[in-house]
Amino acid sequence: MLPAVFLDRDGVLIENRADYVRDWSQVVLLPEAITALSRFRNMDYKIVLVTNQSAVGRGLMSLNTAEEINHKLAKVVEEQGGRIDAIYMCPHAPEEQCECRKPRPGLFLQAARELSIDLRASWMIGDAWSDLLAGQEANLQGVIMLKTGRGANQLQQSRPENIGDFLVFDGLSEALDAISKLGAFVKKG
């Protein structure tokens, strides 16, 4: 079993949009994030994208379009020297009360089963309380809030009562550096 770094998509790898990213033409990459992933390409861990995409459940875009956006993003990351090993997406609207929508841990548990991930040695990096809560519910080693995307605003709001300890960083590069320094991952030989 390998550890993983779970990443939220919007606000971590691409810019958030109040009206949802509904087409590839609306994707604005966070260049520092893409560069950070390329620097960590040879680390011995899985990189897993876990993303809520309620625009599908709300009827604002098709499931196929959401999947295309995710796959194009993974391809861009690979072309820039990084990698995303797997993508798990919740397409449901919040009122559907599904198990896969963060802050619930369903996407993490599914990834652990399918990819043989050691959750207790894994990390979640996101820009919202729901990301951190999902990681904690999945019993990950740690969770990290980025100040990118919605993160800075989330940190100004009331902290959820049930949230435990978490780390805060300005961007993905600093977060991955911290995980590496904490000794969670070993470089491939």
Q: How far, in Å, CA of 189 to CA of 187, rounded?
A: 6
Which candidate in 8, 19, 44, 177 is catalytic?
A: 8
Active site annotation includes 23: no
Active site annotation includes 10: yes
| Sign of the C-alpha dihedral computed for residues 101, 92, 159 and 122 taken in this order | positive
Q: What's the Cα-to-Cα distance from 88 to each of 20, 80, 158, 188, rounded to whole Å?
A: 18, 21, 28, 25
Six token digits for residue 20: 């949802």
Q: What's the Cα-to-Cα distance from 181 to each of 9, 145, 175, rounded to whole Å?
A: 24, 17, 10
Which candidate in 10, 19, 44, 177 is catalytic?
A: 10
Contact between 70 and 49 (Cβ < 8 Å)? yes
Catalytic positions are 8, 10
